[in-house]
Amino acid sequence: MERLGWKHAAGLAALMLGLSGLIAASLCPWVTEAFAESRIIASFQAMNITDGCGMTRLVGSKKKPFGREVEIVYSCGLMPSPGTTGAEEGRRGAVFVTFLGTVKLPLTV
Same domain, 45 and 97: yes
Distances 102 to 8, 38, 57, 82 between C-alpha atoms, Å: 36, 11, 19, 34
For the chain, give the percent of residues with pLDDT over 70: 78
Q: Please check whether residue 109 lies inside any domain of the structure.
A: no
24 shares its domain with 36? no
Q: Is the pLDDT of residue 90 over 70?
A: yes
Q: Is the pLDDT of residue 86 over 60?
A: no
Domain that holds residue 17: 1-28
Based on the fold, state whether residues 8 and 59 are members of the same structural domain.
Answer: no
pTM value is: 0.75
Burial 18-45 (b: 16+ CB within 10 A, else e): eeeeeeeeeebeebeeeebbebbeebbe
Question: Positive or negative, the Cα torsion across 38, 39, 43, 46?
Answer: positive
Per-residue pLDDT tens over the stretch 6-50: 788 888 999 999 999 999 989 999 999 999 999 988 888 787 766
The domain total for the chain is: 2
Residues contacting 13, CB < 8 A, separation 6+: none
CB contact at 8 A, 42 and 35: no
Beta-bridge mates of residue 103: 97
